[in-house]
């Protein structure tokens, strides 16, 4: 079965094509084809990159319409040097990342008009993400027709088993009736990394207590027991929890009341400030990217140094909370852009928990580890760096939904 994966974001879109002929492999295979669209390079233009058949093609097209760029990208699947299909109908299913599934969707589902309506409705909770996820679904419907099954894979689904004491906020109980509760996000990544950690350690996932640290521009932790998420740092929206690239993470809500009363801030002002002008970017003043941050630190920028120290502090504090909820720890997993590529963050985080027997091998930590245990032999906790494979996980979820529906 050839499955196309669409991971649509506000400023970029990543796509992959997988071939699941002969069943599901134990390890994530390389995609047959990879495509990416970046709308942030220049206003009114889309930068397109395609990899397939050992070829890398790049082009920039003038368009303000995401649908046009998506169509241009998809045509490279069945034409030109990157052709891997004979025709669009060779695609047998499409898997979509959808950030917010609310309380209705605890598993991945085939897309129907009702599912699309729910994704649109839940955009109230994820205004940056759900609308573009829905645009991706509709773009594929327009390009491939209604007969190609599409599957929505929800970031929130992995956290559907949180206990009420974890997901209910300590505000008025009536909030629950309005859907105001902790949902958690990055579920596809947390789930994949938990399963991969069990493979690397040669143990059953059901026997492990894990904390997975998805540290990218957006960042969250998940405490995992018996293969299920039992706590997580993101909440009602992806704004809660850790300090992130441009998002504040958890702050005193009284600050927002103060800004509205004393400074005249509107809801839109607060939204922009907390989502796009806070976190590492807001503190450092140099940007949301860790590479920019370290370059500024090397030049003696004190605000950049403060941002790094704050990032590590908030990460350590949240890990302590997760540890308490798990009642112990077998494995600590680092993943995503920062988690996989910044050894200083991993080392500083682990060294704070040496009193619990967490011992990191600094030589392994600095050797660009991927899918490797970087703990010292006598560490009481295994420390893993895992390359998150969200696209493959989405393809696998789509395969399972379609196979189960057909009785396969």
- Cβ–Cβ < 8 Å for 40, 13: no
Domain with CATH 3.30.420.40 in the chain: 2-154, 203-385
The domain 203-385 is placed in CATH, from the list 3.90.1150.10, 3.30.420.40, 1.10.1740.10, 3.40.50.720, at: 3.30.420.40
The predicted pLDDT at position 130 comes to 92
The predicted pLDDT at position 407 comes to 62
Catalytic residue among 64, 68, 107, 155: 155
Q: What are phi and psi of 5, to 5 degrees?
A: -115, 130
The predicted pLDDT at position 27 comes to 84
Which has the closest alpha carbon to 368: 335, 342, 399?
342
- Cβ–Cβ < 8 Å for 146, 97: no
Round to whole Å and give the CA distance between 183 and 168. Answer: 10
The predicted pLDDT at position 66 comes to 80
| Count of Cβ atoms closer than 10 Å to residue 377 Cβ | 7
Beta bridge partners of 50: 35, 57
| 178 noted as active-site residue | no
Secondary-structure breakdown of the chain: helix, strand, coil percentages, each rounded to the nearest 5:
40, 20, 40
* Antiparallel, parallel or unpaired: β 2-8 and 55-62: unpaired
The SS3 of residue 308 is: helix
| Count of Cβ atoms closer than 10 Å to residue 321 Cβ | 13
Which has the closest alpha carbon to 12: 40, 33, 34, 35?
40
* Antiparallel, parallel or unpaired: β 219-225 and 228-232: antiparallel
- Cβ–Cβ < 8 Å for 141, 150: yes
The domain 2-154 is placed in CATH, from the list 3.30.420.40, 2.40.50.140, 1.10.490.10, 3.10.129.10, at: 3.30.420.40
**Over its length of 408 residues, how does the chain's per-residue pLDDT go in tens digits?**
899 999 987 678 899 999 987 778 888 899 999 999 988 777 888 899 999 999 999 999 998 788 888 888 999 999 999 999 999 999 999 999 999 999 889 999 999 999 999 999 999 888 888 999 999 999 899 989 989 999 999 999 999 999 999 999 999 999 999 999 999 999 999 999 999 999 999 999 999 999 999 999 999 999 999 999 999 999 999 899 999 999 999 999 999 999 999 999 999 999 999 999 999 999 999 999 999 999 999 999 999 999 999 999 999 999 999 999 898 999 999 999 999 999 999 999 999 999 999 999 999 999 999 999 999 999 999 999 999 999 999 999 999 999 887 665
Report residue 210 as tokens.
Answer: 């894990």
- Cβ–Cβ < 8 Å for 398, 110: no
| Count of Cβ atoms closer than 10 Å to residue 368 Cβ | 11
Round to whole Å and give the CA distance between 93 and 73. Answer: 17
The predicted pLDDT at position 64 comes to 74
* Per-residue DSSP letter, 380: S
- Cβ–Cβ < 8 Å for 386, 369: no
Q: What are phi and psi of 224, to 5 degrees?
A: -125, 125
The predicted pLDDT at position 295 comes to 96
- Cβ–Cβ < 8 Å for 262, 252: no
The SS3 of residue 59 is: strand
Kindly give the residue spans of alpha helices, DSSP state H, lying in 145-230: 164-167, 187-201
């Amino acid at each position: 079965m050839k499955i196309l994966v669409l991971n649509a974001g506000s400023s970029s879109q990543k796509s992959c094509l997988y071939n699941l002929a002969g069943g599901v492999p134990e390890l994530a295979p390389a995609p047959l084809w990879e495509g990416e669209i970046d709308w942030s390079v220049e206003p009114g233009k889309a930068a397109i990159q395609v990899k397939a058949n050992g070829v890398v093609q790049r082009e920039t097209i003038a368009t303000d319409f995401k649908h046009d760029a998506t169509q241009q990208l998809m045509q490279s699947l069945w034409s030109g040097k990157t052709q891997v299909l004979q025709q669009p109908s060779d695609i047998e299913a499409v898997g979509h990342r959808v950030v917010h599934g609310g309380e209705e969707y605890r598993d991945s589902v085939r897309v129907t008009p009702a599912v699309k309506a729910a994704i649109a409705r839940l955009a109230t909770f994820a205004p940056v993400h759900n609308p573009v996820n829905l645009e991706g679904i509709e773009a594929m419907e327009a390009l491939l027709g209604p007969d190609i099954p599409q599957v929505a894979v929800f970031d929130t689904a992995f956290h559907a088993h949180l206990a009420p004491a974890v997901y209910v906020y300590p505000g008025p109980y009536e909030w629950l009736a309005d859907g105001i509760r902790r949902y958690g996000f990055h579920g596809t990544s947390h789930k994949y990394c938990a399963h991969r950690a069990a493979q690397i350690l040669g143990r059953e996932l059901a026997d492990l207590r894990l904390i997975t640290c998805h540290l990218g521009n957006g960042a969250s932790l998940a405490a995992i027991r018996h293969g299920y998420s039992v706590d997580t740092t993101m909440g009602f929206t992806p704004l809660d929890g850790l300090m992130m690239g441009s998002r504040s993470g958890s702050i005193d809500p009284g600050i927002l009341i103060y800004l509205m009363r004393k400074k005249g801030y509107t809801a839109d002002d607060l939204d922009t400030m907390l989502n796009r002008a806070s976190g590492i970017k807001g503190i450092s003043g140099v940007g949301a990217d860790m590479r920019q941050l370290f370059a500024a630190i090397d030049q003696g920028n004190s605000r950049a140094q403060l941002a790094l120290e704050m990032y590590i502090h908030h990460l350590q504090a949240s890990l302590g909370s997760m540890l308490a909820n798990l009642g112990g720890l077998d494995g600590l997993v680092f993943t995503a852009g920062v988690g996989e590529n910044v050894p200083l963050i991993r080392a500083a985080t682990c060294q704070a928990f040496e009193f619990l027997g967490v011992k990191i091998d600094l030589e392994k930590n600095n050797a660009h580890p991927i899918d490797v245990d970087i703990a010292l032999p006598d560490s009481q906790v295994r420390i893993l760096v895992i390359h998150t494979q969200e696209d493959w996980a989405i393809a696998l979820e789509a395969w399972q939904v379609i196979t189960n529906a057909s009785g396969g």
